[in-house]
Amino acid sequence: MMELADGFIALPGGYGTMDELFEVLTWSQIGNHRKPLGFLNVNGYFDHLLSWIQRAFEDHFIYKEHLALFVSAETVDDLLDQMTSYRFPDQIERWLVREE
């Protein structure tokens, strides 16, 4: 899947969706790919998850550049526009050895 895809879109779903979503997100975090990941946030489905990600950042479990590993939108058109213009964050590799 990772080799064939140009990007990944998470649709509302359950455990399997979350498993695949975070696997792809983690792969980008560790440098296995540099492809866009998008949340199709229909009717605010992912609002609580996105708030949790923000909380994890505020509690220093996620670095700032990791917040740029995905995009989110409420409509397909908006999400595809964001994914088309997506640019992978700089210096993502440095999360393994932090020199701040």
Residue type, 83: M
For the chain, list the domains and their CATH numbers: 8-95 (3.40.50.450)
User: Which of 36, 22, 98, 19 minimizes the C-alpha distance to 72?
Assistant: 36
Q: What is the pLDDT of residues 2-61, one digit of tens each?
A: 789 999 999 999 999 999 999 999 999 888 899 999 999 999 999 999 999 999 999 999
100 touches 86 (CB < 8 A): no
Residue 87 carries which DSSP code? -
Residue 10 has a pLDDT of 97
